[in-house]
Amino acid sequence: MDGQVLKLWKLLAISGLLLLQTGCWDSVELNRRAIVSGVSIDKGLTEDKRYSVSFQVIVADEITGKNSRGNAPVALYKGSGRSIYEAFGNASRQSARILSLGHSKVIIISEDLAREGIRDLMDIFERESDMRLSTLVFVSRGQRAEDILSVMTIFGKIPANDLVQKLETGNRSFGYNFRIEVDDVIRGILAKEGGAIINGVIVKGDLEAGGTKSNLEGIKPKAILKNAGLAVFKQDKLMAFQDGTEGMGLSLIHNKQKEYPLLLELGKNESATFSMFKVHTSVTANAKDPEHPVIYISTQQQAALKEYNGSLDISKSSVLRNWEKLLSEETKKEIDAAVKAAMRLNSDYIRFNETVNRVNPKGWKRVKGRWDTIFTQCEVHIKVNTLIRHTEMRTRSLKSSGEGVE
Amino acid sequence: MKKKGQSNQGAPAGGSGNTATRAENQAVLNISNNLEQTLGNIKRELGSSPDLKIRKFQIGSAEPVWVAAVFMDGLINAVAVDEFVMGALFDNSADAAEEMPREPQERLQLILDRALELGEIAVKDDWNDMMLSLLSGNTIILLDGCSKAIEGGTKGGEWRTVAEPSSQIVIRGPKDSFVESIITNIALIRRRIKSPTLWTEFMKIGTVTNTDVALLYMKGRAEDKVVDLVRMRLKKINIEAVLESSYIEQLIQDKLFTPFPTVYNTERPDVAAANLLEGRVVLIVDGTPFVLVVPTVLAQFLQSTDDYTQRFDSATLMRLVRYMSLIILLLGPSVYIALTTFHYEMVPTPMLISLLAQRENVPFPAAIEAMIMEAAFEILREAGTRMPRAVGQTVSIVGALILGTAVVEAGIITPVMVIVVALTGIASFAIPSYNLAVAGRIIRFGFLVAASMFGFYGITLGLIVLIAHINSLESFGTPYLAPLSPFSIRGQKDTLARLPMFTIDLSPEKLGNMNNDNKSGNDQGTSDSGKDGRTGA
C-alpha cells in the first residue's frame, strides 16, 4: 500500500511537470499588449505596396494612469504591404508590444480604395479570429483614411470611440447615419444585385492641427470628426455619397431611423418643425408577376411639435390633421428620393431583391439574373401615416393673437 | 498503517475491546472481600492520584461494618455525595442498625433498598466496570466482606454553561448552543422534541479515553438502514482517544480523498433538532459542543437557521447570495486571470484600458500576482484565527495596510487584484459552514493554476472534473448533490430557493425519496467506499 501511495505521488509529480512543459498556450500578459482601437486602410503608393494600413493604438497610461506624461492618448502605427496582413506585420514590427485587434472599434476605408472595390480587403476582417464582426466600417470622404484616425477628440480621449459615439448619438435623434458593421458590409457585397452601404466620415477643419494637442487647447476645436453621408455601393464599388433627403430616406427604408426632425414650410416666413418619433418602416411586395413586382413601403410615425412661428390656432384638431398630411408628404418625398437615387445608380442597396425573394422565392429565381433591369422599373408605392401626438408645452405660437402681447 | 490494520483485526471491536486490553495489563484484579485490599488496589491502579478520595466509615451500631465511599474529586457533584450518599448512609443505616444482617450480600441489599437516596444506582462486580464508573464521576461504595460494589450516580463537576453559539451565528433564532457535556446536549435536543420517538443509544469509543458517544435518531423518521450503517461504522472504530467529534467524523466519513465534508456538524441544538425531524442521525460526542449530522448533502452546508426564521423571500435571496459566494470563492481569481491573460477581448474596452494602465509597471505575471495575494490573504486569516484576542486588532490593521494600500503603492500588485482577492476572501466568509469554505479555498488554487495555463478552457475542464467529483460523493447512502442530482421536484422546495413554510413539511420523505431512488446500488456502494476511506487513513 505504501508502494501504491509512492506510485501515485510519482505519477502526480510527473504529470505536474508535463503541465509545465506545454508553456502557457496563448497566454499574454496585458502589459505585453498594445490595444488597437481603430484601423484605417489607404491605397498604397506603389504596386507592390498595395495597401497602406494604420493602426490607432491606445496608450493606457495617458488615459487613466497616474503615470500620464501628458502626451497623446493614442499612437498611430503605419505599415504597408501587398495584403492587409502583410501591412499589419510591417506595422507590428515598429511596436514594442503585440498589436491586438480584439478591441478595434472602427475600420476606415479611404474613398479612392472604396471606388476601386473593397471585396479583397473585407476578407481578412471576417477571417481573422481576433477581429469582431461587429466592428463599424466607415469610408473617409475625399480624405486619407489615416487622417480620420489622427484627430484628437474632446470627449473620451480615444478618437475611434468618439467616432462610434457620434454615430450612435446621431442615429438616436437627428442624423441619418446608422450602425453598419463588417457583417452588414460583407452581406451587402455578396448580394449580386445589390451593394453595401457604408457611413461616410470626414475631418472638418485643420487636418494638421487636428493631430496635435493644440486641437483641444482652444474652446473651438480646430478639427472635428464628423459623419458625412452614406456611401452607397454597387456590389463592392462605391458609387456615390447620399446626403440630405436621400440619406434620410435611405435610413428610413432600412428602418434604422427611430427619431428625426422634419420642417414644414407654411408659406412666407412661417414654418413648423417637428420631431418625429416611434418611426417604423416596413417593406413588402406583391410579386405574383416577378417580372413586374410592386413594392409597398409603409411608414408609421408620430410627431411632436418643437417649434412654430405661424399664426394658426393649433388647439384646433383640423389644423393638426392637415399638418399630419403635410408631414406624411414630406417623409414620402424623402423615401421617394432615396428609391429614385438607387434606381438611377442601378444598385439595389435598398434591398427590394430580398423583399421579392421573400414573397415569391420561385419567381425570384427566374428573374434573378435580370434583376438590374427589372429593379429600375419597379412600381413603388409609398404610404406614410403620421400622427401628431402633442405640441409640447405650448399651444398657440407667440405670434398668434391674444397671447404674449401684453 | 499496516500494523494498525492488523491489530484492528486482532482485537474485538467496541466496548469489549476495552476490557480485553485492560485485562492484559492488570491481569488478576477483582473486587475482593477484604475492604483494605480493594482500596489498596484502587490506589495502586490510579498511581495514588491525589484527586482520588476515599472516605472510610462505619455503619451499624450493634455490629459496625466498615464501608468506604470512593470518588474522584472534581468529577462528582459534591452536594450529592455529601447529602445523598454519606448523609443517607449515616442516617438510614443508623435506623436500620438493629436489623443489620450478618450476611454481606444482605447488607448490600439493605443499603441499596433502604439507605441510598440517589436516583441512579447499580451494583458492579467487575473490577474494570467499577473503575470506569469511578473515573466517570460516580461514587463507588464498598462494603467490607462483600465482593460487590455499589455505584452511585453522582456525576457532576464544573461544565461550561450553555452560551451563545460562536461559530454559527444567526440574526433571529435560538441563542443557545451545545456545551461539552453530553447529557446537557441531549437535554437541549429533548427540550425541542418532546416525542417518545426520539431514541438515543450510547456507546463508548476510544480504548483509553472511553468517550461517551450518543447516537440520536427519530424512530420511524430515520431510515433503519442509515441508523444501522452509522451504528456499524461506529462499532468498527478502533482508536485510542476521541477528543472531539471530528475524530469520529474522520473515521466514519464515506470518502477520504475529497475536500468536501460529507458529515455535517453544528453547535446549534435547533439545527440538530431540525435534522432529526428530517430523518437524519445525530451523533453527540462527550467533551465537545460540535455534534455530527449524517447523512448530509452539499446544499445543507449552504443553509442557515436564518433561512427558516426569516420570511421566505428574503431567505431565498440570502441563500442565492450564498451560492453566488461559493462560485465567487471558487472562480473569482481564476476568471480574472483567464480574462486578462487569455481573453482580453471579453473585457469591455474602458475597463481594459484601466486594467492596462494598472498593469503597466507591475513586475509579476497576473497568475503569480494572484498566487502571492491569495497566499498573503491565507496567512493573514490564519494569523487572525490563532492570534490571542488582545493582539487581534493589530493583525487586521497591519493586514489592511499591507494588503490594501502598501502593496499597491509599491507597485507590486495591481489594485484590481486586491479587489478580486478581497472579494474572494469575503465570499468565503459568506458561506455559513466553515468546512465547506475551506474546501472552496483549497479548490480555488486548483482553478487558479488551470486558468493560468489554459484560460477559460482550463476553468471549464476544471469545472467538469469538480462536478463529476462532487457527483460521485455520497454520505451514508445519500448522493451528495441531491436533490439536484438525482433530481427531485419535491426537494427543490428547499434547496436553491426556500419556498413558503406551508409548502415545506419536515417529513423524512425528503431524504427517504433520494435513498429509495437507487436503493439497490447504494448499500453496497457506501459500505465499500466507507471501508476504503478508513483503510486509506
Tens of pLDDT, residues A224-254: 888 888 999 988 889 999 988 889 999 999 9
Average pLDDT, integer, range A123-142: 90
- pLDDT at position A23: 58
So what's the pLDDT on residue B106? 79
- How many angstroms from the chain centroid is the CA of residue B405? 40
Q: Say how far apart CA B345 and CA A198 lie, in whole Å.
A: 25
Residue B151: band (very low, low, confident or very high) from pLDDT cuts 50, 70, 90: confident
Question: B11 versus B29: which is more confidently predicted?
Answer: B29
Identify whether the C-beta of residue A88 lies closer than 8 Å to the C-beta of residue A79: yes
The segment with the largest mean pLDDT, out of A126-130, A327-331, B221-225, is A327-331
In this predicted structure, what is the pLDDT of residue B99? Answer: 67
CA distance A101 to A107: 11
* Mean pLDDT of the A291-319 span: 89
pTM over 0.90, yes/no: no
Predicted pLDDT at A61: 85
Higher pLDDT, A394 or B270: B270
Task: Among A24, A30, A37, pick the best mutation site for testing chain B contact (most B Cβ within 10 A).
Answer: A30
- The closest alpha carbon to B65, from B31, B91, B104, belongs to B104
B479, B471 Cβ separation under 8 angstroms? yes
Å from A73 to nearest chain B CA? Answer: 11
List, for residues B33-90, the tens digit of each pLDDT value. 888 888 888 888 888 888 898 888 887 766 778 888 899 988 888 888 888 777 777 7
**Residues from chain A contacting residue B357 (CB–CB below 8 Å):** 60-61, 63-65, 67
**Cα separations (Å) of B42 from A306, B21, B30?**
108, 18, 10
The pLDDT > 70 percentage for chain A reads: 96
Contact B344 A22 (CB under 8 A): no
B chain contacts of residue A28, beta-carbon cutoff 8 Å: 341-342, 344
The Cα of A386 is separated from the nearest Cα of chain B by a number of Å equal to: 40
ipTM over 0.85: no
Q: Is the pLDDT of residue B439 over 90?
A: yes
- Range among A9-13, A208-212, A296-300, B415-419 rated most confident: A296-300
A60·B344 Cβ contact <8 A: no
Percent of chain B with pLDDT over 70: 87
Q: Read off the pLDDT band of B296 (50, 70, 90).
A: very high
Q: Average the pLDDT over each of A60-74, A145-159, B272-286, B497-511 and give the range with the smallest value.
A: B497-511
Report which of residues A120 and B514 the model is more confident about: A120
Per-residue confidence band for B522, with pLDDT thresholds at 50, 70 and 90: very low
Q: Any idea which of B99-103, B209-213, B454-458 has the lowest mean pLDDT? A: B99-103
Share of chain B above pLDDT 90, in %: 32
Average pLDDT estimate for B129-149: 87
Distance from CA of A224 to the nearest CA of B (A): 22
Q: How far apart are CA A54 and CA A198, in angstroms?
A: 19
Mean pLDDT of chain B: 82
Preceding amide of B64 cis, omega within 30? no
How far is residue B452's CA from residue B374's CA, in Å, rounded to a whole number? 14
pLDDT exceeds 60 at position B9: no
Name which of A25, A37, A103 is nearest B345 (Cβ-Cβ). Answer: A103
- The continuous run of DSSP H or E covering A16 comes out as helix A2-21
pLDDT at A346: 87
Q: Of B349, B354, B358, which is closest to A103 when you measure between CB atoms?
A: B349
The three grid cell numbers given for residue B42, joined into one nine-digit string? 484502587
Spell out the domain ranges in chain A: 29-242, 244-406
Asked if the model's pLDDT at residue A60 lies above 80, the reply is: yes
Nearest CA to B105 out of B97, B113, B94 is that of B113
Number of residues in chain A: 406
CA B459 to chain centre: 34
DSSP state of A225: E
Task: Of A172-176, A398-402, B327-331, give the range with the top mean pLDDT.
Answer: B327-331
The confidence score (pLDDT) of residue A197 equals: 92
Q: What angle do CA B220, B226, B229 make, to 5 degrees?
A: 135
Chain B nearest CA to A103, separation (Å): 6
Among A171, A107, A98, A97, which Cα is nearest to A133's? A107
Residue A335 has a pLDDT of 93
CA separation for the pair B536, B5 (Å, rounded): 11
The pLDDT value recorded for residue B453 is 86
Chain A CB within 8 Å of residue B345 CB: yes
Does domain A244-406 fall into CATH 3.40.50.10800? no
How many alpha carbons lie under 13 Å from residue A357 in its C-beta half-sphere? 10
What pLDDT shows up at residue A19?
67
- pLDDT at position A21: 64
pLDDT at position B360, please?
83
User: For A30, which of B359, B449, B452 is closest by C-beta distance?
Assistant: B359
State residue A20's pLDDT score. Answer: 66
pLDDT over 70 at B17, yes or no: no
Q: Is the CB of residue B2 less than 8 Å away from at least one CB of chain A?
A: yes
For range B124-150, the mean pLDDT: 86
Q: Extract the C-alpha cell encoding A226.
A: 464628423
